[in-house]
Structure 1
Amino acid sequence: MSDALSPDAVHLGLDLGTQSARAVAVDGTGRLLGAASRPLTGHRDGVRHEQDPEQWWTALAAACREALTGIDPRRVRGLAVDATSGTVLLADATGNPLTPGLMYDDRRADSYAERVNTRGARVWEKLGYRAMQPSWALPKLLWLLDGPAGPTGPTGPGGRGVPAGTRLLHQADLITWRLAGHQVASDASHALKTGYDLIDERWPEAEFDALGVPAGLLPDVVRPGTVLGTVCAAAAEATGVPAGTLVTAGMTDGCAAQIGAGALTPGAWNSVLGTTLVFKGASPRLVRDPGGVVYCHRGPGGTWLPGGASSSGAGVLADRFPGARPADLDALTARAAATGSTAVVYPLVGSGGERLPFRAPEAESFVLGEPSGDAEEFHACLLGVAFVERLCLDYLDHLGAPVDGPLTFTGGGARNRYWSQLRADVLGRVARLPEQAESALGMAVLAATASGATLGAAAGAMVRLREELRPDPARTARLLPVYLDFVDALARRGWLDQAVADHARGKARQ
């Protein structure tokens, strides 16, 4: 019988974020045994955002070695890797990078999106997201093939004449190649934004031929949780991970965080409040979105994981209170909680418009009411995020996605207890706060499945709950009319479809 969920087993989760590479070592009961991170640096210039792929490997290798300090190598069972969604590069036949890594939010391929969406319309419609966004991986692949950073040199090939053996790699693929010592399959989660057909489970050959993507450029793809291979001797020397350790196909960072939060049963949702608000849920069926703002990953075991990312979130606090230190924000929270204010800031971050619960590139922040002083303005920001969160769930319900399962709060914003309680009150539902929820933990949970545990059993054993917040019914009732005023304000501006606004109003009456 497998000991995957025993205290003797150790599972590794590796996370490649934007600013750091992180490794955690967790036993089969969820106890954290070791953790380490190393910084990552990138280059931003307007729409350009890239990183050196070699840095991903050296940073993760150092983090692994430190996280495993003092752990008996005989206990280590397996590992899995997550990375940012839509980050890609080109590599040669031996896995050496030919281009920088184009990060998830690099927008240099904007001009390719129309061609991608014209040629691939049939597939994207079938998969439910209808159209690719310009920052997704497939437009970036076409840009890489055309130059100016193409694989034949700094001026690019000016066409599709790529050298023999050139490979497209997702960010995690570089790491799994180095770990195994040879190229292994990509996972379907990282391949989604490159156009992988999650229903037929293949690359759409006719559409890719029409786009001029060379045959042989794309990796094989398997479902997350599939064993890809084992750690080779060279990788063991670099990372401290024992040779022979199982390497399991991972998922993107958002899905990894969802696993780390234990939001895996049908109707369960994980709301990640960071700079922006990200939703990840679980569904027994594919969720299709006519508005193209929600898309589905395919999870381990055949489940579907719908989700999307808003352009609203905690980043509004940095925008409106620049230079505020953590202690300043704590003090503002205490003062804000005492105001009882119902003014609302629509908490857009940046100038790119909104992505969820509607797509409106022209959307701009606005204020309802007249907040007096910085404490009321701060509270208006907290309330605005909570209202966007409720509208996201109303929109998902409008699409027919199951939303009545457990709700989990994670991300930096979840550390503010007053804010978390306010969010639970606005939603009118119980919210769970995990003891430790992060992408690296989610990959440790997924790695445990390679040693014989089901994903549900692994999450049940390894994800620990810190607190459960119950809504105050009186406060929910007091804030509902304010929420509906906010919804109406979005509809009046033409950003929110009236049918969605009507649905939100109907849900409020239930």
Structure 2
Amino acid sequence: MSHPVYLGIDVGTQSIRVLASDATGRVLALASEPLTSRRDGVRHEQQPEEWWDATCLCCRRATESLGPDSRYIAGIAVDATSGTLLLADRDLKPLTSALMYDDARAHIEAEEVNLAGEDLWSRLGYQMQTTWALPKLRWLAKHFPLPPDARLLHQNDFINARLAGRYLASDTSHSLKTGYDFLECRWPDEILSHLDLNLSLLPEVTSPGRLIGQVCFDAAQQTSLPMNTAIYAGMTDSCAAQIAAGAVTPGSWNSVLGTTLVLKGVTTELLRDPQRIIYSHRSSDGHWLPGGASSTGAGILTREFPSADLHALNRAAEIAGPSSTIVYPLAGRGERFPFVSPDAVGFTLGSPASIEEHYSAILHGIAYLERLALNYLRQLGAPMEGPFFFTGGAAQSREWNQIRSNALGREISVPTIVEPALGMAILVASHHFPLHEACNRMIKIHETISPNRNFATYSEQYDRFVDELNRRGWLPDAMVPENVPRVVA
């Protein structure tokens, strides 16, 4: 073998995954190692040294699988969870545990951050949330005595720094939730100063896919990676998954349905959202990546049907079609996309006659919420003419994919491999080919599904679903699609 090998590293919540691919998308090596978390109420922490130990182990396994071909590794890119951060000293030694992406301790600090930077956050099209990185940085600065050389590291920054043996530039994707001004390409020093945060805490920032360093001697010894292997700036895990799905051209979208529902697409211009529900990352090729994450998703199924045969229930739901029972399948309290309502709770309209009907109503309810999200994005001016991809755990069910295709009224494609680590391998390969061409070369489609039922059959139930959200005061009138009658108080 003499062709290049592209290495992607995915630093997730539950594991580290390392994937090696060639330019055709053939997976040459794949290794994973579990991670442990410590949770205490709204707090969620991990130990950064465990990330590094697991990364080294996975890299050694991958290079062992590659054998002599590991010499052809052309580069590495790392993705990680969005909003996860820690503080480290000048020697890259952690000063704090890592506050994870869903750690919600910084609620007071989020209010302070939003007050201090309201004008900028409005211009950038979002509002800082409790779990975002800048409020958590403010919390850390309040509760830990920081030496003058303390530095913030996002989750992937820590791995990149250990690979290089020195601090490297961060990427705009991970820096977004830390308050990086991606329009003027700078840290908002006046806001940071108002929050008593020293600019020296923050890294340099560059675009995803840019060359930022090389693997040093010590890291080469620990990982078995070739010394001087190129390190490229990565992206957040959701952006990496979007690349791995192939949604990289304007008008294309990726719907990730796992525990929750996440929608991400591509636009040529920054999508302006007056509700500030949608926020956009920046692609390595200059496009914008708008998206949002719902609190609704497939996670409710494990709670409602803990010991059921889900495969059989999926088949029954697809055969039966839309149920007369309408379910808003929100597992907890509060929704964040496609509308924001801290008071929202799940509901059921009607009485399902069987477990099969109840299950079917939940699947259809998630599909209706997905359709509402797409309609909202369309209202904001987002292009929708490109390909549409389904990924996430739920995409493994062909029956559920068919239900969602029917409810959305559009053709969908399911990629064969959807690993964020593959997305990072593709990002490395984009130095040899344009990003869209690298996707075309390296992504294989498992199947394409088209609607097989009358769209109007789903539309009637969808209208009832949206009408009830509006009636309960959670969905503003401005977000109700044109064809749905607005509730008159």
RMSD in angstroms over aligned alpha carbons? 1.4
Deviation sequence 1:301-357 (CA, Å, 0-9, x none): 211100110000101101211344xxx211222333344433222111333x10000
1:41 aligns with 2:41: no
Give the match for residue 117 of structure 1.
114
Give the match for residue 427 of structure 1.
408
Provide the rounded CA distance (Å) in 1 between the counterparts of 2:270 and 2:404: 28
Gaps (5+ residues) in structure 1? 1-5, 151-156
Q: Is the 8 A contact 1:276 1:349 kept in 2?
A: no
Provide the rounded CA distance (Å) in 1 between the counterparts of 2:65 and 2:179: 42
Equivalent of residue 214 in structure 2, options 210, 225, 230: 230
Segments ≥4 residues shifted beyond 4 Å: none
The TM-score normalised by the length of structure 2 is 0.96
Q: Is the 8 A contact 1:231 1:243 kept in 2?
A: yes
Matches within 5 A, 1:39-438: 39-71=34-66, 72-129=69-126, 131-147=127-143, 150=144, 157=145, 162-324=146-308, 328-340=309-321, 341-351=323-333, 353-438=334-419
1:468 aligns with 2:463: no
Q: The residue matched to 1:257 in structure 2 has which SS? A: helix
Q: Is the 8 A contact 1:406 1:431 kept in 2?
A: yes
Q: The residue matched to 2:218 in structure 1 has which SS? A: helix
Provide the rounded CA distance (Å) in 1 between the counterparts of 2:76 and 2:314: 39
Q: Residue 7 of structure 1: CA displacement?
A: 7.6
Q: Is the 8 A contact 2:467 2:484 kept in 1?
A: no
Q: Residue 395 of structure 1: CA displacement?
A: 0.6
Q: Is the 8 A contact 2:279 2:291 kept in 1?
A: yes
Aligned residues: 482
Q: Residue 141 of structure 1: CA displacement?
A: 0.3
Q: The residue matched to 1:502 in structure 2 has which SS? A: coil
Give the match for residue 480 of structure 2.
501
Provide the rounded CA distance (Å) in 1 between the counterparts of 2:338 and 2:94: 37
The TM-score normalised by the length of structure 1 is 0.92
Deviation sequence 1:91-128 (CA, Å, 0-9, x none): 01111100000000001001111110111111111111
Provide the rounded CA distance (Å) in 2 between the counterparts of 1:281 and 1:248: 23
Provide the rounded CA distance (Å) in 1 between the counterparts of 2:327 and 2:302: 14
Deviation sequence 1:282-310 (CA, Å, 0-9, x none): 00011121112110001112111001100
Give the share of equivalent positions with the same residue, in percent: 52
Provide the rounded CA distance (Å) in 1 between the counterparts of 2:138 and 2:316: 51
Give the letter aligned to residue 192 of structure 1: L
Provide the rounded CA distance (Å) in 2 between the counterparts of 1:137 and 1:323: 38
Q: Residue 493 of structure 1: CA displacement?
A: 0.6
Q: Residue 268 of structure 1: CA displacement?
A: 0.6
Give the match for residue 482 of structure 1.
461
Gaps (5+ residues) in structure 2? none
Give the letter aligned to residue 388 of structure 2: L
Provide the rounded CA distance (Å) in 1 between the counterparts of 2:101 and 2:436: 29
Give the match for residue 153 of structure 1.
none
Q: The residue matched to 1:202 in structure 2 has which SS? A: coil
Provide the rounded CA distance (Å) in 2 between the counterparts of 1:486 and 1:76: 51
